[in-house]
């Protein structure tokens, strides 16, 4: 039986719940939020859909004790109204989500939950680090969506420019899920061909690509006041990789021994969460960007610790 806990029933949480139920990806779903009226409404709405689905999901709400035997816990709690504008807007949720973790962590501990945690709280890397510390949880069993989403945005931008499917673009966006994230262009390939090989023949401006990737989420946020579909899709894909022990190779926010902080980097995702980290060769410039991004995350984490 596949059982998932979901804390935070805002736009992202509701989208994840809808996806899990309508695709029949969870046998049991436990939804928790401070706004009980909203959670009850989401439960009723999803239950109303069951008579038209080919699968069934038992949907429970507002009970941390139900997390005890859950396989995966996805945390999307936050306050979108606290977000600022621009690429660094996620940092606006830092102080609010510190209070959320202070309230939530003891209840997760008390539930006896010992499965895999996927965090989408903003700012993603900082909050994943802080949550891991407050739960005193094994680092491999908790990770954030991180630059998995930024990498998808890179695949879209590059794919559209070359007229190919985003699935035919490989490579990584790394670092902070925020203003200091960057695309490691040395890793990017289009239909198996390194993008730097194609750069001049196709008159490609990688700096313009980088800006479009970084601002992708900003445009969505400014257009509708939040982002939900893409990051929810990322979370569900990661959850399915855990369930199926897929050994999925992708970038997530995982703990780095080198930088002593959670940061977007390539990893292998399976039934144990982070099965391993993938060591890839970066250019000197990319290594410098990674270090600078880690320093920014660490600085914010320190503010959470005090």
Feature table: binding site for NAD(+): 8-13, 33, 97, 120-122
For the chain, helix, strand, coil in percent to 5 are 50, 20, 25
Q: Which two tokens stand for residue 71?
A: 């396989």
Q: CA distances (Å), 91 to each of 27, 42, 95, 264, 297, in order?
A: 35, 28, 9, 16, 10
Partners of 193 in the beta sheet? 190
Q: What is the dihedral of CA 194, 200, 202, 204, to 10 degrees?
A: 80
> Among residues 245, 267, 272, 270, which one has the least CA distance to residue 256?
267
Residue 198 · residue 190 · CB < 8 Å = yes
How far is the C-alpha of 61 from the C-alpha of 74, rounded, in Å? 14
Q: Which two tokens stand for residue 179?
A: 């203003």
Q: Residues annotated as binding site?
A: 8-13, 33, 97, 120-122
Give 40's contacts (C-beta < 8 A, 6+ positions apart): 61
How far is the C-alpha of 109 from the C-alpha of 63, rounded, in Å? 13
How far is the C-alpha of 231 from the C-alpha of 177, rounded, in Å? 12
Give kind and range of the element (H or E) at residue 151: helix 147-162
Query: Which entry of 177, 200, 202, 306 is annotated as an active-site residue?
Result: 177
> Among residues 147, 210, 209, which one has the least CA distance to residue 174?
147
Give kind and range of the element (H or E) at residue 233: helix 229-243
| 306 tagged catalytic | no
Catalytic residue list = 177
């Amino acid at each position: 039986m596949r059982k998932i806990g979901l804390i935070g029933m805002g736009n992202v949480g509701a989208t994840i719940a809808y996806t899990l139920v309508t695709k029949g990806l969870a046998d049991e779903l436990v939804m928790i939020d401070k706004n009980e009226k909203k959670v009850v409404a989401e439960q009723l709405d999803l239950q109303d859909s069951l008579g038209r689905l080919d699968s069934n999901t038992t949907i429970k709400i507002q009970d941390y004790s139900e997390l005890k035997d859950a396989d995966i816990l996805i945390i999307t709690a936050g306050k979108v109204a606290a977000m600022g504008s621009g690429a660094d807007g996620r940092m606006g949720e830092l102080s609010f989500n510190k209070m959320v973790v202070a309230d939530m962590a003891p209840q997760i501990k008390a539930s006896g939950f010992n499965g895999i945690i996927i965090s989408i709280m903003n700012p993603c890397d900082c909050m994943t680090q802080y949550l891991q510390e407050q739960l005193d949880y094994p680092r491999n069993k908790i990770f954030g969506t991180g630059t998995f989403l930024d990498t998808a945005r890179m695949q879209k931008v590059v794919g559209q420019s070359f007229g190919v499917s985003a699935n035919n673009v490989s490579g990584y966006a790394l670092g902070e899920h925020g203003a200091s994230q960057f695309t490691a262009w040395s890793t990017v390939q289009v239909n198996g061909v390194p993008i730097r090989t194609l750069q001049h023949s196709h008159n490609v401006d990688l700096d313009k690509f980088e800006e479009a990737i970084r601002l992708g989420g900003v445009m969505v946020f400014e257009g509708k006041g939040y982002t939900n579909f893409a990051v929810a899709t990322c979370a569900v894909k990661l959850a399915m990789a855990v369930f199926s022990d897929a050994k999925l190779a992708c970038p997530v926010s995982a703990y780095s021994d080198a930088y002593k902080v959670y940061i977007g980097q390539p990893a292998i995702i399976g039934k144990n969460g982070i099965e391993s980290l993938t060591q890839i060769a970066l250019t000197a410039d990319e290594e410098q960007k990674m270090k600078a991004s880690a320093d920014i995350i660490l600085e914010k984490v320190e503010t959470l610790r005090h």
